[in-house]
């Protein structure tokens, strides 16, 4: 029996678990202690601080700029809105502030600065968000192919970008439902379908 192959377990039955399936990989890779409880974190991560609502909940402005540029390359603006138009970076900033995504928050906070440094190193001190699109793609491509031993970053950032583009707009992404328009998804139930109910038995039977 082989130890790898297409039959390796993929916990996604009928669309199940989504982003959480990556967490097993991440939790193991970062050696989290058994029974570790993300609720015990030192700072309050959800809810707004006193006074004016903060613009960002998770990322510094510099890291947020890197995040935005990565998302925009994964889902760039063309005839249809891109990741930034859809509010994807904002969505991610909020989503990973939730306690259950603590391991993903750590992953992004660790990797995004590395991506920025990589850009400065390769492209004459240009920050990642200032680099040319082809330069940005070059760096993203490295991560897609397992750069820095990190197998998890690329699938996680791609999943989060798609969440931001195609989730319920109440979470701050998919601005104006324009992500749904792009893929032809209609959130309202087609109630008229009731009229087809047991119209007839199938002919082949």
| Binding residues for another protein, total number by CB under 8 A | 78
Site residues (CB under 8 A) for another protein, limited to 44-83 = 73-76, 78, 80
Site residues (CB under 8 A) for another protein, limited to 92-121 = 95, 100, 102-103
Question: Applying CB under 8 A, which part among 41-49, 57-65, 109-117, 186-194 lies near another protein?
Answer: 186-194
Taking the CB of residue 86, how many other CB atoms lie within 10 A of it? 30
**What is the C-alpha separation between 14 and 149, in angstroms, rounded?**
30
Q: By CB under 8 A, tell whether 9 contacts another protein.
A: yes
Q: By CB under 8 A, tell whether 8 contacts another protein.
A: yes
Q: Using CB under 8 A, which of 109, 114, 127, 158 touches another protein? A: 158
Closest to 179 measured CA to CA, from 114, 85, 108, 116: 85
**What is the C-alpha separation between 27 and 156, in angstroms, rounded?**
13
CB-CB contact of 142 with 149 (8 Å): no
Q: By CB under 8 A, tell whether 84 contacts another protein.
A: no
**What is the C-alpha separation between 75 and 175, in angstroms, rounded?**
14
Q: Which is nearer to another protein, 50 or 193 (CB)?
A: 193
- Closest separation between CB of residue 76 and another protein, Å? 6
Q: By CB under 8 A, tell whether 176 contacts another protein.
A: no
Q: Which is nearer to another protein, 51 or 202 (CB)?
A: 202
**What is the C-alpha separation between 93 and 7, in angstroms, rounded?**
35
Taking the CB of residue 58, how many other CB atoms lie within 10 A of it? 19
Task: Specify the 3-state DSSP secondary structure of 186.
Answer: coil
- Closest separation between CB of residue 63 and another protein, Å? 20
Q: Which residue has the tokens 């990973």?
A: 96
Question: Applying CB under 8 A, which part among 47-55, 105-113, 114-122, 139-147 lies near another protein?
Answer: 139-147
Q: By CB under 8 A, tell whether 134 contacts another protein.
A: no
Task: Specify the 3-state DSSP secondary structure of 117.
Answer: helix
Tokens of 196: 């087809």
Q: Which is nearer to another protein, 52 or 183 (CB)?
A: 183
- Closest separation between CB of residue 55 and another protein, Å? 22
């Amino acid at each position: 029996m082989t130890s790898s192959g297409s039959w390796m377990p993929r916990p996604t039955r009928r669309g199940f678990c989504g982003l959480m399936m990556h967490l097993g990989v991440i939790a193991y890779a970062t050696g989290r202690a058994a029974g570790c409880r993300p609720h015990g974190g030192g700072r309050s991560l959800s809810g707004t601080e006193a006074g004016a609502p903060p613009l960002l909940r998770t990322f510094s402005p510099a890291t947020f700029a890197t995040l935005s540029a990565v998302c925009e390359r994964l889902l760039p603006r063309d005839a249809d809105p891109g990741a930034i138009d859809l509010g994807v970076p904002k969505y991610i900033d909020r989503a990973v502030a939730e306690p259950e995504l603590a391991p993903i928050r750590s992953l992004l906070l660790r990797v995004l600065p590395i991506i920025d440094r990589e850009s400065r190193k390769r492209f004459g001190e240009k920050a990642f968000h200032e680099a040319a699109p082809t330069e940005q793609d070059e760096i993203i491509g490295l991560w897609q192919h397992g750069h820095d031993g990190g197998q998890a970053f690329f699938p996680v950032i791609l999943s989060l970008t798609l969440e931001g583009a195609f989730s319920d707009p109440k979470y701050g992404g998919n601005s104006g439902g324009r992500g749904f328009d792009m893929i032809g998804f209609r959130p309202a139930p087609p109630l008229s379908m009731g009229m087809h109910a047991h119209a007839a038995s199938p002919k082949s039977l």
